Amino acid sequence: MNTAPEHVLPRDIEKRSFEIISAELGDTGFNADEESVLKRVIHTTADFDYAHNLCFSPGAVQKGLDALGRGIPIITDTKMAWSGINKAALAQLGAQALCFMGDADVAEAARLGGTTRSAACMDKAARTHPNAVLAIGNAPTALMRLHELVLSGQMNPALIIGVPVGFVNVVQSKELIMTLGVPYIVAKGRKGGSTVAAAVCNALVYLSLQKPASSINRILPGTKMELSAPRDGEI
């Protein structure tokens, strides 16, 4: 084992990390956009198991890019996932990230309904942004409530990012989401987390900024601003 440290300039650390990931990952069987998402998740977790656990419904990445390009918001189940999303880059698409966990009406709804605040957040999402991109990295109760809302016709998400971590109902909630016929990116099994949810969101944002506007139905009403992808190290 080589224990001599590499000399890497601070601005090149992220670039070098992705070079290592690409070399160790090899052929994944994913298309280029899916692989970009996978690599961002591995970069965040240093866990190559996601090469086997991360699942994409057909066209899921493109549908996510189209949604963000139309300014559709990302709604997260935790402040941690929300905090990890690059809001400055997302704003270049005319979109925003939202989290309702700290809202007083959500806390009251959870108390009255005897449910979790994460599940109550999905009810608020259904009322305010029924076609949002949903990024769930912590609470399987959020995914299970989301499953109910989609089945009842109260939500039709542009994309569901289902990557909660843990033991109780985590696997089951992910499997439920994969039966809905709604676009999804899901980390099968017990692994996931808020950082993984944020990594998937950032991968979509960066991909969107790198692509021609015409390829992702990007719409920015009333503006001619030039969109640019973040440089290496801007995460």
3-class SS letters over the chain: CCCCCCCCCHHHHHHHHHHHHHHHHCCCCCCHHHHHHHHHHHHHHCCCCHHHHEEECCCHHHHHHHHHHCCCCEEECCHHHHHHCCHHHHHCCCCCEEECCCCHHHHHHHHHHCCCHHHHHHHHHHHHCCCCEEEECCCHHHHHHHHHHHHCCCCCCCEEEECCCCCCCHHHHHHHHCCCCCCEEEECCCCCCHHHHHHHHHHHHHHHHHCCHHHCCCCCCCCCCCCCCCCCCCC
Q: What is the pLDDT of residue 133?
A: 98
> What pLDDT, on the 0 to 100 scale, is given for residue 232?
37
Active site residue 43: yes
pTM value is: 0.90
pLDDT score recorded for residue 213: 66
Is the CB of residue 131 less than 8 Å from the CB of residue 160?
no
- Residue 230 is predicted with a pLDDT of 42
pLDDT for residue 12:
86
What pLDDT, on the 0 to 100 scale, is given for residue 3?
Answer: 79
Per-residue confidence (pLDDT) for residue 227, from 0 to 100: 39
Of the residues 7, 43, 52, 147, only one is catalytic, namely 43
125, HSE (Cβ side, Cα atoms, 13 Å): 35
Per-residue pLDDT 10s for the chain (235 aa) are 667 888 888 888 999 999 999 999 989 999 999 999 999 999 999 999 999 999 999 999 999 999 999 999 999 999 999 999 999 999 999 999 999 999 999 999 999 999 999 999 999 999 999 999 999 999 999 999 999 999 999 999 999 999 999 999 999 999 999 999 999 999 999 999 999 999 999 999 999 999 876 566 655 544 434 334 343 333 3
Q: Which domains does the chain have, with CATH numbers?
A: 30-211 (3.40.50.10230)
